[in-house]
Structure 1
Amino acid sequence: MRNVTIIAALAFSLMLTGCTVSVDGDDYTTVSPDFNINEFFDGNVKAWGIVQDRSGKVMQRFIVDIDGRMENGTLILDESFDYGLGEGVNSRTWKIQSTGNGTYRGEAGDIVGTATGKEFGNAFNFQYEMDLPVDGSTYRVTFDDWFWAFNENAMMNRSYIRKFGLVMAEVTIFMQKQS
């Protein structure tokens, strides 16, 4: 009976491990091109994205128009969302500031507290909490938001939405600077 308990505990641990994602930013410090959040978002950016639940089912499909600008050392991102599938926030305004040494802090109206960010060469990581409305209920979740530059005009964003440390949903967004 003891062996069955140990095997069950190991199987459960492996199952939980399969529900987690861990990106190591240090893997991208020497990858080109460098991603500069202030330069990329200074101007108009168009984004296309999806949200998938744990099973991989697409729950939301959306387009985002982002109007970015620098004001007194603060990056302001005015985001407008248009949903082709599902529902969500219609707009969000981020205010992001460098805190030195490749680190950042950010705030938005629907973000709990302050987001923290860090540059990793080709990548940028943003982490924050949000009270996320889902089907009439609200859940406090954490976002582990990763951005990777393709070139100076295109990048990809992958967000891992966690509850109790487990990935509950994933967001994939492609972004392109507009002329």
Structure 2
Amino acid sequence: MMKRYLPLLLCALLTLASCASAPVPSDYASEKPVLDLASYLNGPLTAHGLFTDRSGKVVRRFTVALKGSWQGDKGVLEEDFVYSDGKKERRVWTLQKLPNGRYTGTADDVVGVAQGEVAGNALRWAYTLRLPVDGSVYEVQFDDWMYLMDDKVMLNKAVMSKFGIKLGEVTLSFYKP
């Protein structure tokens, strides 16, 4: 009898799963503490992170020394990465605060303009990054979600994809002294 209803049950579960909507920043509008990006990303910060592949295996660990500065609605965020294999990278973001919790950003290795939106304690940050791998450069998409935990700690989870196919995830913990 169960065999008879199994296809129907699977169909119903797949239909429900396809109806589930992805989160949007406004889902977090009432969450506290409220993220003021210009305030949090002002001055020195430290981050610890890792990259996991599609299977969940940690393939790279890193630390980041960050320094942010703001003049009105314009900000600069300097990021100095040190990877567990000793490799170093630097990215400098130029940030612009817009009305209604929106932000844009550019950096030398970012294609076009990054788009961000803050609501409550969360920031969604989306961009395409030129990623060098073994002598080639690939353009990959990042869908970053950052959550302010308290006045010192912000957590970041990013999905990296190419052609809509998930390549892996980046997880970061930011600390503001």
TM interval, short-chain normalised: 0.7 to 0.9
Kindly provide the amino acid, as one letter, of the partner of residue 76 in structure 2: I
Kindly provide the amino acid, as one letter, of the partner of residue 46 in structure 2: K
Alignment deviations for residues 114-166 of structure 1 (CA, whole Å, 9 cap, x no partner)? 00110121100111111211222222111111100101111101111111112
The answer to whether residue 112 in structure 2 is matched with residue 93 in structure 1 is no
- Matching of residues 148-163 of structure 1 within 5 Å: 148-163=147-162
- Matching of residues 1-12 of structure 1 within 5 Å: none
Q: Which sections of structure 1, spanning at least 5 residues, go unmatched? A: 1-6
Q: Distance in 2 between matches of 1:86 and 1:57?
A: 20
Match of 2:53 in 1: 53
Give the RMSD, CA atoms, in angstroms. Answer: 2.4
Q: Which sections of structure 2, spanning at least 5 residues, go unmatched? A: 1-6
Q: Distance in 1 between matches of 2:80 and 2:43?
A: 14
Give the Å deviation of 1:71.
2.9
Alignment deviations for residues 73-122 of structure 1 (CA, whole Å, 9 cap, x no partner)? 311111111111474x6111011111211111100111001001101211
Match of 2:28 in 1: 28
Match of 2:102 in 1: 103
**Matched residue pairs, number?**
163
Q: Distance in 2 between matches of 1:104 and 1:84?
A: 31
Kindly provide the amino acid, as one letter, of the partner of residue 161 in structure 1: M
Q: Distance in 2 between matches of 1:137 and 1:38?
A: 35
The answer to whether residue 146 in structure 2 is matched with residue 147 in structure 1 is yes
Percent sequence identity over matched residues? 38
SS of the aligned residue for 1:38 comes to helix
Kindly provide the amino acid, as one letter, of the partner of residue 84 in structure 2: G
What TM-score do you get using the length of structure 2 for normalisation? 0.84
Query: 1:59–1:85: 8 Å Cα contact kept in structure 2?
Result: no
Q: Distance in 1 between matches of 2:29 and 2:148?
A: 12
Which of 1 and 2 has greater Rg?
2
Query: 2:73–2:98: 8 Å Cα contact kept in structure 1?
Result: no
SS of the aligned residue for 2:149 comes to strand
